[in-house]
Structure 1
């Protein structure tokens, strides 16, 4: 198994892409800490599935937009698991607003979670990666981080920030055998974008725009990239954005 003996932290791990990554890591031998907010039924279900595979797993409640909560949850995870080898920064929020309707609250809610939270979770985990002699940080961005969409200026800005944050972190940490990379998913069907899946004009436009003709990918399409970037096979990969987007960005 490619992650045997590793300890992984997956934020936003109770559904969607985070859920799929957590389960894939468990299949490959990792113990998994799932961080999420709100209803914990999904997280507890995933923990049960991981435990059934013989993995250690636990769910934690934390708002990844709040630095104090990030600091607290990392301490709890390390106390429970003994360290961290892999961090997947997946927690995010996506909200559609025109420029004129993008209030300070709309902007802050997305930038604070998607970008600020990604940085501070990485910062808090760093000392524990160093204690293990290195590790992997995988940030989940989006096609909105490399392209532009109407009515989601805050989301595009936050995910574009994640792409360049990854590059900046990687040049500082590469010498410590800490790999920092990004996955840029295309349109993936998740609970977060259920409203878009029901938007027939949007679906038709994406089917036309995407070379494969798929309006939405499946979460399982992302897990191979997440496994590669978490494994020793990616030891030479630093600061990359691996686009998994049905050739949307080609």
Structure 2
């Protein structure tokens, strides 16, 4: 089996479960060493590292709150000390707080923006100088199809994810000439712990609205991340790829 990422080091935020975990496994299968951070998910993080080492790659995990810049920087420093400088950054960590627009509290707004926007921004900033110095690197930011279409009851989530797309495009202009390719992924509804918690009726209702008639699997998003991380991604800059089952066509 070919390993297009052999010798590369990937950092994945929010890598213990769901899409982040699937991407970490895909990167390891492709030959990369993997560092992940997580929030209070030690058991799952350890099993992820075991899966990475079982593939003959090095793995590293630590808890870090991506809404706190000091913890973002601590993860970046610890991952580099354990594995080496970052070649591929997947900014995947995220969360959601639901509620009507008029009832969103300032603390909830701040938390959403901190985890999604601030954490992504400063995680990219932590690894960017090294990528520039080496003249190569990939930064992949996880957005959402809801940034493209919006949805009631999750205004802050949609706004944060839209901000990720704007950040991606702006940084791509600065980073591209330096050899650093910055892109985003905007998944549609995916089978994860979060979506399963909504219940079977919600899942059936959402699936019925999609041309493909089903929710996606984390591994299908990982395939897009692998494209952007590897040789197939050499001519993408500021792109937002959206594997979404036809939920948003653009």
Tell me which interval the TM-score lies in, with the shorter structure as reference length. over 0.9
Q: Look up the match of 1:209.
A: 209
Alpha-carbon distance between aligned partners in 2 of 1:77 and 1:172, rounded to the nearest angstrom: 25
TM-score, structure 2 length as denominator? 0.96
Distance, in Å, in 2 between the alignment partners of 1:168 and 1:137 is: 13
Q: Does 1:19 align with 2:18?
A: no
5+ long unaligned stretches in structure 2: none
Matches within 5 A, 1:173-212: 173-196=175-198, 198=199, 200=201, 202-212=202-212
Matched, 1:232 2:231: yes
5+ residue gaps in structure 1?
none
* Equivalent residues in 2 for 1:48-67, closer than 5 Å: 48-67=50-69
TM-score normalised by structure 1 residue count? 0.96
Looking at structure 1, the residues matched to 232 and 207 of structure 2 have their Cα atoms a distance apart, in angstroms, of 33
C-alpha distance in 2 between matches for 1:189 and 1:114: 20
What is aligned with 2:246?
247
Give the corresponding residue for 2:155.
153
Q: Comparing 95-104 with 170-179, which one deviates more in the overlay?
A: 95-104
Shift of 1:204: 3.9
Task: Give the deviation of 1:199 after TM superposition.
Answer: 5.5
Q: In structure 2, what is the Cα distance between the partners aligned to 1:159 and 1:248? A: 16
Would the alpha carbon gap of residues 203 and 52 (structure 1) be closer, same or farther in structure 2, given more than 3 Å must change?
Answer: closer
| C-alpha separation in 2, matches of 1:222 and 1:237 | 17
Is 1:94–1:192's contact at 8 Å kept on the other side of the alignment? no
Q: 2-side partners of 1:39 and 1:47: how far apart?
A: 12
Matched with 2:77 is 75
Q: Distance in 2 between matches of 1:172 and 1:131?
A: 14
- Map 1:23-172 to 2 at 5 A: 23-172=25-174
CA contact (8 A) 2:188 2:243 kept: yes
State the Cα distance separating 1:211 from its structure 2 match.
Answer: 1.1
Deviation at 1:120, TM superposition (A): 0.8
| Cα RMSD for the two superposed structures | 1.1
Distance in 1 (CA, whole Å) between partners of 2:43 and 2:87 is 26
1:122-142 Cα shifts (integer Å, max 9, x gaps):
011101212332100000101
- Secondary structure of residue in 2 paired with 1:185: coil
Range with bigger deviation, 119-128 or 3-12: 119-128
1:192: how far off? 2.5
